[in-house]
Structures are given as structure tokens and as C-alpha cells.
């Protein structure tokens, strides 16, 4: 999935190809160029669950779906 449309900070949902779902604040989009060509990714801060409050990097090739919820 192309993640470059997710450049604003807002509540969102990210679904990974392995079935994991994160709902929380999407706080950052990092390009492959800014990441030494290791791939673009979104950073989301989950609002619930065992990873609540942590910063989770979701790489573009691992994301099956992402959307803003507000």
C-alpha cells in the first residue's frame, strides 16, 4: 500500500498483512529516502492493547490497509 497520503497527524487505523490491527494516532510518515532506503513507513501510537502509548513503525510493504478515522 502506498502510504504517502498519510502526512497529517490524526486518529487512524492501520491493518498489517499479518492481521494485526492498530487504532490510534498516526503521528508520522517517513519516506524511504529519509530512512536510508529501508522503506517508507507510518508511525502510529496505539490507543489500546499491550502496545498502548508506544510508537509502532508500520513499513509500507507490511501494510494491507490504512485509513483516517476522523
3 belongs to a structural domain: no
In this prediction, residue 47 carries a pLDDT of 97
The residue range of the domain holding 60 is: 10-68
2 belongs to a structural domain: no
CATH of the domain at 16: 2.30.30
Nearest CA-CA partner of 39 in 67, 64, 66, 4: 4
Q: How many angstroms from the chain centroid is the CA of residue 2?
A: 11
52 belongs to a structural domain: yes
Q: Count up the domains in the chain and report the number.
A: 1
Greater confidence, 14 or 70?
Answer: 14
Three-class DSSP category at 55: coil
Contact 43, 26 (CB under 8 A): yes
1 belongs to a structural domain: no
pLDDT above 90 for 1 = no
In this prediction, residue 64 carries a pLDDT of 97
The 10s digit of each residue's pLDDT in 32-52 is: 877 677 788 999 999 999 999
In this prediction, residue 8 carries a pLDDT of 83
In this prediction, residue 55 carries a pLDDT of 97
In this prediction, residue 54 carries a pLDDT of 98
Amino acid at each position: 500500500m502506498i502510504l504517502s497520503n498519510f502526512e497529517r497527524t490524526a486518529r487512524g487505523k492501520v491493518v498489517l498483512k499479518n492481521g494485526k490491527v492498530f487504532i490510534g494516532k498516526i503521528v508520522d510518515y517517513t519516506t524511504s529516502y529519509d530512512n536510508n532506503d529501508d522503506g517508507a513507513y507510518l508511525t502510529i501510537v496505539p490507543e489500546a492493547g499491550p502496545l498502548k502509548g508506544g510508537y509502532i513503525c508500520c513499513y509500507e510493504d507490511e501494510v494491507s490497509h490504512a485509513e483516517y478515522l476522523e
